[in-house]
Chain A
Amino acid sequence: MTSPQIELEHVDKHYGHFHALKDINLEIGKGRFVALVGPSGCGKSTLLRSLAGLESITGGIMKIAGETMNGVPPRRRDVAMVFQSYALYPHMTVKENLTYSMRLKRKSREERDKAAKEVAEITGLGNLLDRYPRELSGGQRQRVAMGRAIIRHPKAFLFDEPLSNLDAALRVHMRKEIRALHDRLGATSVYVTHDQVEAMTMADHVVVMREGVIEQAGAPLDLYDHPANRFVAGFIGSPAMNFVEATTTEAGDAVVLEGFDGAVLPLGIKLAPGRRVVAGLRPEHLLLGAPDKSAIRIGVGVVEFTGAASYLSSAGEPELTVFHAGRTEVRPGEAVGLTIAPQHVHLFDPETGRRVEG
């Protein structure tokens, strides 16, 4: 077990009457890559900025490398941040941007040049050192912002949606690059994003937040397989999970869906009879079949093809989305059957939204 590099205990943050962070508890081990993910306004950026010291917390304890950081100004925290806008110094060349922190520490020119060269090598900026930020492409600016963080060998890297200003292809590429850099440097990283795919693919620990609360934290696939509540279930996975209201049967080992002519889905578990629940069915777990031999029958509304996969939406309410790998002959207006394996049926409490277990 590695020692925790970042510890948050009962952290609270208020903006006037607005409670932005509510009793946040989080431990981040050394060398971990943690993603904070959630819809905008969920507090993930506030949490990151609090770690950097750009915002002050109003309650709780915040430790970095074992030292309490409450009230410590950003420049004494030894953390580096990569901003969404990159926040490069526009009047400095790439090299000056990279070595700004070293110049503040009055490091010699030789030391600075050497460090700049090393970092430029790692980030692929070798021949751009004398350029100004305005002469660089978005991806290159992104690398300078990373290099500026790397050159400091900080206790933690903080990323604030660093890829959202890049185009889709570059974003996918930089995803891998950032993760590779993290591994190579043995760094501790906290990565804020609203894109759950980014969080799932990059992080080894994902923290899902909503309205200032941590809804669930865990390994990416754990979150996918065992979402703790309806919010996490809907947030993780793309396309999003389908939700259908349902009631357990008298035996308690199956649910009757509302709509779909009272389709019955067997469960792998046993619940109290007649209990109202919300069934969560991931689009990729719904399998196409013949209408008369399947649990659920739907009329097809829309069929979309991406080439590699097909997406079907049902015509009626509640709407179901189905992900089908490959192509399908099914056309709008036809009826199809859907089946789902019992272990893939997620159940949530309609009031609290919490996961229902057997």
Chain B
Amino acid sequence: MARFIRSVRDARGLYAALVWLALGYLLVFSAFPLVYNIVISLQTVDLFSLASFDRPFVGLQNYRDVLSDPVAGTVLWNTIRFVVLSLVFQLAIGFGLALFFQQDFPGATYLRGLFLAGWIMPALVVGAVWSWILAGDFGVLNYVLRTLGITERNIFWLSDPDVSLYSVIIANIWLGIPFNMILLSVGLAAIPRDIYEAAELDGAGAWQRFFTITLPLMRAPLGAVVSLGTIFTLQQFDLFAALTQGGPSNASNVAQYWSWQLSFQTYQISYGSVVSVLMIVFVVAVAAVYTRSTRHEQSY
């Protein structure tokens, strides 16, 4: 015992303990559920067999069933649109704002800080607020659009199958902008000023400086924001729960919400696992790109 205490005090034992703690946490809360999820996706699981590990193994039959489901195509296409559009606009607006606040004007840092407010709010609350803004009969957005003469009639943002997905995308873009802006601001601030001054003396105008200095030097932060943004967007569940519940008739349903519906609403737990396993494969690929992009970080 005394020897154990001494080894902890000498830090060598402490380091080992810390490593095992972290490793243990990962094993119990990450690795086990992950593997268990994959196992479930290969078995027939219903409410009766849920409690036992001994369930019929069916191989890839669940995958065949899920992928041949007519809903699968809609969900896949919706997920692609949701992720791509959210990312493109979050990134463009976030980067634009980051560049804007990088300019030296009074109150720049203070205003930039205010943008974090949107990030602090829980997504479920954000969803509730947007469901009011987007409400068809009394929503602020429709009122503004009509007053400005952009539309003549109310748009039923949440119940029109043609626009319901875009409603969630708009809310998600709003939610993701602060994250993009802050991360990219940090990246911009890390680029030394005198590099820009040198480029200016070398004859570069503002646009040339952006494309030949800023953009290449922002490669690592942009890669990080794109990969993390993809992962966050694929995690986005609360907004769907608060706004459209994937409806009407799956018009705004995406993989992560569908997986939850299958698992916990219709209790086709194996099918839900299949969807989440497919998503995990994709996220692992994105994470690999992210780790690679951070390896290329510039040193000044």
Contacts and interface: CB of A to CB of B under 8 A. Distances in A.
Contacts of A53: 201
Interface in B168-200: 192, 194-195, 197-200
Interface in A89-129: 89-91, 100-101, 104-105
B106 interface: no
A80 B203 CA distance: 10
Interface in A227-279: none
B202 A104 contact: yes
B198 A87 contact: yes
Contacts of A73: 200
Residue from the set B198, B204, B212, B298 with the largest chain A CB neighbour count within 10 Å: B198
B203 A91 contact: no
Nearest to A154: B201
A15 B198 CA distance: 23
Contacts of A91: 216-217, 219, 298
Contacts of B198: 81, 83, 87-89, 148
Nearest to A90: B298
A148 to B, nearest CB: 7
A313 B195 CA distance: 46
Contact of A100 (B199, B217, B298): B199
A75 B298 contact: no
A75 B195 contact: no
Chain A at the B interface: SS class: loop
B208 interface: yes
B105 interface: no
Contacts, number: 64
A79 interface: yes
B299 interface: yes
Chain B at the A interface: SS class: helix
Contact of A81 (B197, B203, B216, B300): B197
Contact of B203 (A83, A88, A101): A101
Interface residues of A, number: 24
A53 B201 CA distance: 9
Nearest to B202: A101
B93 interface: no
Given A75-B205, A104-B208, A134-B299, A87 B192 contact: yes
A85 B195 CA distance: 9
A74 interface: yes
A148 B203 CA distance: 12
Contacts of A52: 197, 201
Interface of A: 52-54, 73-75, 77, 79-81, 83, 85, 87-91, 100-101, 104-105, 134, 148, 152
10 contacts: A52-B197, A75-B204, A79-B201, A81-B198, A83-B197, A87-B192, A89-B198, A89-B199, A91-B219, A148-B198
7 closest cross-chain pairs (CB), A and B:
A87-B194, A101-B202, A87-B198, A75-B203, A91-B216, A74-B200, A104-B203
Interface of B: 192, 194-195, 197-205, 208, 212-213, 216-217, 219, 298-300
Given A75-B204, A88-B198, A134-B298, 16 more contacts: A54-B197, A75-B200, A75-B203, A77-B201, A85-B194, A87-B194, A89-B195, A90-B195, A90-B217, A90-B299, A90-B300, A91-B217, A91-B298, A100-B212, A104-B202, A104-B208
